[in-house]
């Protein structure tokens, strides 16, 4: 089965097949020699590749797996071909529009954008203070600020609307 593994900006195509307990892996179409072992059923695995052994910790769901390796961490988003097609279609329909909500309770410290502003993916929209820390909340996609639902200095609960972004075509 072909899996699309996205880490940051890069998508890696990994094809995993198992015949009689024997794993065959293609990375971006190229055969990848390796040996895979699970040390326990708690997500500790050992991967042998290129004459080296890599101890990794895995956590997450089939769609979001975080890999910890040598102290670093890789957050992977995984899709199979069917899921990828569905997600791409959904993305095309949405084009950066949507409602930004607070997932944790906090206080809006500063608004960094105004209504009508054009924003790009990753651009900080506001600063939310939670757990005594100030956090920049970035835009999830390109768009235009359609409405701002919170003002600086107000406390927000988890789930409260913060900002509505419109896809560029809609505005």
Partner 1 sequence: MFKRILIANRGEIALRVIRTAREMGIECVAVYSEVDARALHTRMAHVAVPLGGKLPSESYLDMNKVIQAAKDTGAEAIHPGYGFLSENAEFARRVVDAGLAWIGPPPSAIETMGDKIISRRAMREAGVPCVPGLVDPVADVEEAVKEAEAIGYPIAIKAAAGGGGKGIRVVREPSEMKSAFRAASGEAVASFGDGRLYLERYLDRPRHIEVQVMFDSHGNGVHFFERECSIQRRHQKLVEEAPSSIIDEETRARMGEVAIQAGKAVGYCGAGTVEFLWSGGEFFFLEMNTRLQVEHPITEMITGVDLVREQLRVAAGEELGYGQDALSINGHSIEVRINAENPFNGFLPSTGTLHNLRAPGGPWVRLDTAMYRGLEVGLQYDPMLGKLIVWGANREQAIERMIRAIQEMNVGGVHTGLPAALQVLEHEAFRKGDIDTHFLESLTITSPEKYEALAAVAAAIYRHKLAKRRALAPADAARTGWTARARGETAAYVKRAGHSTSFS
List contacts with partner 1 (CB under 8 A).
1, 3, 5, 7-8, 10, 12, 14, 16, 18, 23, 25, 27, 32, 34, 36, 38, 41-45, 47, 49, 54, 56-62, 64-78, 94, 98-105, 124, 128, 130-138, 140-141
Q: Least Å distance between CB 115 and partner 1?
A: 18
Q: Compute the least distance from the CB of residue 47 to partner 1, in Å.
A: 5
Task: Using the minimum distance from each CB to partner 1, give the nearer residue, 30 or 116.
Answer: 30
Instruction: Give whole-number Cα distances, 158 to 4, 108, 135, in Å.
Output: 32, 12, 15
CB contact set of 112 (below 8 Å; sequence gap of 6+) = 124, 125, 126, 127, 136
DSSP 8-class letter at 142? S
Minimum distance between the CB of residue 133 and partner 1, rounded to whole angstroms? Answer: 7
Q: Which is nearer to partner 1, 10 or 116 (CB)?
A: 10
Q: Find the farthest-apart pair of alpha carbons in the chain and give their distance in angstroms, rounded.
A: 62
Beta carbon of residue 141, minimum distance to partner 1 (angstroms, whole number): 8
User: Quick check: 45 and 54 in contact, CB under 8 A?
Assistant: no
CB 114 within 8 Å of CB 145? yes
């Amino acid at each position: 089965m072909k899996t699309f593994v996205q880490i940051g900006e890069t998508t890696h195509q990994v094809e995993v097949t198992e015949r009689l307990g024997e794993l065959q892996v293609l990375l971006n179409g190229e055969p990848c020699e390796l040996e895979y072992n699970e040390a326990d059923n708690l997500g500790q695995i050992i991967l042998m590749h290129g004459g080296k052994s890599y101890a990794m910790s895995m956590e997450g769901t089939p769609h979001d797996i975080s890999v910890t390796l040598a102290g670093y961490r890789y957050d992977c988003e995984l899709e199979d071909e069917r899921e990828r097609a569905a997600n791409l279609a959904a993305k095309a329909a949405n084009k950066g529009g949507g409602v930004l909500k607070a997932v944790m309770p906090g206080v809006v410290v500063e608004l960094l954008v105004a209504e009508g502003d054009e924003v790009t993916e990753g651009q900080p929209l506001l600063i939310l203070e939670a757990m005594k820390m100030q956090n920049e909340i970035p835009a999830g996609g390109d768009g235009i600020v359609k409405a701002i639902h919170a003002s600086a200095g107000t406390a927000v609960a988890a789930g409260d609307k913060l900002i509505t972004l419109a896809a560029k075509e809609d505005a």
